[in-house]
Amino acid sequence: MLLGAAPGVGKTYAMLEEGQRLIADGQDVRIGLVETHGRAGTAGRVGRIPVIPRQLVDYQGVALEEMDIDAVLAVHPQIALVDELAHTNVRGSRNEKRWQDVDELLEAGIDVITTVNIQHIESLNDVVEKITGVPQRETLPDSFLRRADQIEVIDLAPQALRDRLAGGVVYPAERIDAALSNYFRLGNLTALRELALLWLADEVDQALLAYRSEHRIDAKWEARERVVVALPGGPEGETLLRRGARVAARSAGGELFAVHVAGQDGLEPLNPGVLAQQRALVQKLGGTFHQIVGDDIPQALVEFAKSLNATQLIIGVSRRGRIAAALSGPGIGATVIRESGDLDVHIVTHAAAGGRFTLPPLGGALSLKRQLAGFIFALLAGPLLTWVLSIFRSAESITSDVLSYQLLVVLVALVGGFWPAIFAAVLSGLTLDYFFVSPLYTITIAEPLHALALMLYVLVAIVVSVVVDRSARRSRQARRSSAESELIQMVANTVLEREDPVSALVEQTREVFGLDRVQVLAGDRVLASSGRSEGPAVPSVIPLTDDTSLQIEGRDLSGSERRLLSVIVAQLESALDRERLKQAAEQVEPLAASDKIRGALLSALSHDLRRPLAAATAAVGGLREVGDELSAEDRAELIDAARQSLGSLSELVNDLLDVTRLQAGVISLVTVPTDPASVIAGALDELNPGPALVRVNLGHEANDIDCDPALLQRVVVNLLTNALRHQPEGSPTLITTSVFKDFLEIRVVDNGPGIPPERLDDVFVPFQRLGDTDNSTGLGLGLALARGFVEAMHGTLVPEETPGGGLTMVVSLPRNQCSGLEAEELQEES
């Protein structure tokens, strides 16, 4: 099966090429039905492929051609080529749909190569209509498509398809302009192309699942990679990101996530500037950036990766040197590998790996594991030091012995903090007195000076351990403050940059604190939510504004975490206040627009209505005062001036009344089947511009639309008047009609100065004349009324740029029911 995103991508051409290849391989291939739509290139590819004649089906006195199922079954080729699978057969055929004809061929053992467009797939019908605005009546079931042994997308870049269309390869010349302006817009084609590729990708996934089920394969196959890159906050993060992006790119549809764990990491302090640059790099690489807070970095990384169902985790080689690694034990990489389970872990080397020696974090602020390490170090190193000093003991060595034990205490303080250092000081003091101070092997002190020395020794050990412990605590607080500061900065950026800051803040709150669920509630209504409830735990509720609150579910937060949460709460309150102000502004905006229109109306009335009224009053007054004294020619001129002024005044008042009826929604319509040609002829008779100023090109059927002819004629008159006002001398204004799907379009084209694209919609604002310096007539209501009349008839009026310069006004109105062969052709070509 050959799948296309839109008509004209080359499905039929590709099908015929495949048929030619199969014939060259000795296969029996026949054409059951091929629609060339008058395309010479497609017709030329039929070549020597045998064609099974079609059957004629009578439909309301018209002989239409359909595929002859019986003839195909009688010939029974190996392979049949059948075009346009979603086609609806003419009433009276054996089957209602062509896909049912193909189903018969498949049941008979005939392989079929066929074509279909993405808009005809039943499950995507509503999506395509939202994208293109065109309903699709011809669809076929997804279940039938999934029976295909092979589905191939015939892909063509959207701009290439538009170029092909503009070159007359897809549609005849009279339909090109309408097609390019409607269904074949660049945005439509891009969306349809993506839809086709995504649908095919989903079918590949389904095929993979079916294969695994058929072969009873239970092991996890990671067809798509979800790669998490751990950013330590240093310059090596760029190397890790690029490696992660390459890993994700090796798998179609691979995803990239970057995460930074802010907390005590035992590495150099965080550099906010470097991390900001890496956040920008993540976005360039097509990934997403996340920041979480956690004291246990390995556990936080693994839990985050598993929450995303990640397949791979990329971390950098430790920046610690060998000495630091030996003193502090296994690092983050080893711990992550041990706890990762079936998650693949990649350790990537970088320029900062194995850098200068740095001491591990110290003091009572350290974990229980580090404090136990300090006690164990004191118990092992103390006896070893005593044994070494005993070998070299002498009467003069007491000073070096004391300093050696003092060094031991300092090292224990560095490894385990305050309490291990106190333990080592007491233990080493007793050991000194027992082994090295006379009398030996007794814990007695004969000299008072020796007692003072031991006391000073223990005091020094205590002071050193206190200093080390305080240093560790302050270092930890500094790292925590840096992490919180970075998090606050990210929260502030979220409020400023995101379109929906409330939802983004809720998501970040859940990620940062590792909560189960976070919600913002307005009474019983959920404004934003992230995560899901993991049990019957009672949620914590934090008031935000008068009617909103923040509800969190999960673990209990520490004091420092609650201080950080208070910052997020303040940002949430600010975001909610901005949302309320935005809604209030949206409510006030129509009132402001109404006041603006009211002011413009008063200004227009004071100027535009006064002029014809003053002219008519002056003419009538002159006739009344001195009419008997004037010549017949002068009297006729005054009467004509009064008539013209009163006529202009009547038109202005009628326009004002029409605007009032449009705004009130009470305009009356008399809808009848109408031929747009008669409406255009009436508008030309009313304006009488002359054949040199207007050129007409019609391409529709008679009585093709249901509308109010009088209103539509006013629309055409207004548009044509506006176009003639701006048309350069010697260049005629063009009026065309064309049919596209269920709509008829009337285009009024001028080659004047045009309007900047950003101001196209301003031409429909009442009581102004955009770019028009002639304020001698009218209230600036012509285009506003034209759009209102068209919309009242369930149509649209939109401005477009004329190729080469100028403005094109496009009136699009729904057609009445199509009849005969043209309706069938339109359905098939779509």
Q: Quick check: 827 pLDDT over 80? A: no
Q: Quick check: 799 pLDDT over 80? A: yes
Find the mean pLDDT for residues 231-248: 85
What pLDDT was estimated at residue 329? 52
Instruction: Give percent of the chain with pLDDT exceeding 90.
Output: 8
Q: Quick check: 806 pLDDT over 60? A: yes
> Half-sphere exposure of residue 154, counting CA atoms within 13 Å on the CB side?
22
Find the mean pLDDT for residues 619-628: 76
What's the distance, CA 679 to chain centroid?
44
What pLDDT was estimated at residue 447? 67
- In this predicted model, what pLDDT tens digit does every residue of 51-70 receive, in sequence order? 999 888 877 777 788 899 99
What pLDDT was estimated at residue 307? 76
Other beta carbons within 10 angstroms of residue 217's beta carbon come to 12
Residue recorded with tokens 């101070």: 437
Q: Which residues pair with 260 in a beta bridge?
A: 291
What pLDDT was estimated at residue 324? 47
Q: Quick check: 824 pLDDT over 50? A: no
Q: Quick check: 323 pLDDT over 60? A: no
- In this predicted model, what pLDDT tens digit does every residue of 678-695 receive, in sequence order? 888 888 887 887 777 888
Q: Provide the pLDDT confidence category of residue 276 given band limits of 50, 70 and 90.
A: confident
Q: Which pair of structure tokens corresponds to residue 260? A: 């930074």
| Coil, helix or strand at residue 497 | helix
Instruction: Kindly list the structural domains of the chain, giving each domain's residue range(s) and its CATH number in brackets, ordered by start.
Output: 2-214 (3.40.50.300), 226-348 (3.40.50.620), 368-475 (no CATH), 592-664 (1.10.287.130), 672-829 (3.30.565.10)
Find the mean pLDDT for residues 403-410: 83
Find the mean pLDDT for residues 474-501: 69
Q: For 249, phi and psi rounded to 5 degrees?
A: -70, -20
Kindly state the DSSP code that residue 124 receives in the 8-state scheme.
G
Q: Which pair of structure tokens corresponds to residue 797? A: 């009026």
Distance separating alpha carbons of residues 86 and 117, to the nearest angstrom: 8
Q: Quick check: 303 pLDDT over 80? A: yes
Largest CA distance in the chain: 153
Q: Quick check: 171 pLDDT over 50? A: yes
Q: Quick check: 594 pLDDT over 60? A: no
What is the chain's percent helix, strand, coil content, to nearest 5? 55, 15, 30
- In this structure, of 154-168, 399-413, 440-454, the range with the lowest mean pLDDT score is 440-454
What's the distance, CA 66 to chain centroid?
44
What pLDDT was estimated at residue 212? 55
Q: Quick check: 780 pLDDT over 70? A: no
Residue recorded with tokens 């629309």: 715
Alpha helices in 350-442 (DSSP H): 368-391, 398-416, 418-435
Distance separating alpha carbons of residues 830 and 823, to the nearest angstrom: 11
Q: Quick check: 163 pLDDT over 80? A: yes
Helix (H) or strand (E) holding 29: strand 29-33
Instruction: Give percent of the chain with pLDDT exceeding 70.
Output: 75
- In this predicted model, what pLDDT tens digit does every residue of 10-44 receive, in sequence order? 889 899 999 999 998 999 999 999 988 878 888 88
What pLDDT was estimated at residue 661? 56
- In this predicted model, what pLDDT tens digit does every residue of 567-577 receive, in sequence order? 788 888 888 88
- In this structure, of 129-133, 356-360, 400-404, 483-487, the range with the lowest mean pLDDT score is 356-360
| Opening angle at CA 562, ends 560 and 566, nearest 5 | 120
Distance separating alpha carbons of residues 470 and 464, to the nearest angstrom: 10
What pLDDT was estimated at residue 226? 82
Distance separating alpha carbons of residues 504 and 217, to the nearest angstrom: 39
Contact of 308 with 226, CB cutoff 8 Å: yes
Find the mean pLDDT for residues 346-364: 55
Contact of 738 with 747, CB cutoff 8 Å: yes
Q: Quick check: 451 pLDDT over 60? A: yes
Q: Quick check: 797 pLDDT over 50? A: yes
Residue recorded with tokens 């503009």: 166
pLDDT: which is higher, 382 or 512:
382
Parallel/antiparallel/unpaired status of strands 2-4 and 152-154:
parallel
- In this structure, of 99-113, 203-217, 615-629, 813-827, the range with the lowest mean pLDDT score is 813-827
Other beta carbons within 10 angstroms of residue 439's beta carbon come to 10
What pLDDT was estimated at residue 28? 93
DSSP string, 325-365: HHHH-S-HHHHHHHH-TTSEEEEE--TTTT-S--PPP-STT
Angle between helices 610-626 and 632-664 (to 10 degrees): 150
- In this predicted model, what pLDDT tens digit does every residue of 641-690 receive, in sequence order? 888 777 767 766 666 666 555 555 556 677 888 888 888 888 888 788 77
Other beta carbons within 10 angstroms of residue 735's beta carbon come to 22
* SS (HEC) of 46-114: CCCCCECCCEEEEECCEEEEECCHHHHHHHCCCEEEECCCCCECCCCCCCCEHHHHHHHHHHCCCEEEE
The mean predicted confidence, pLDDT, of the chain is 77
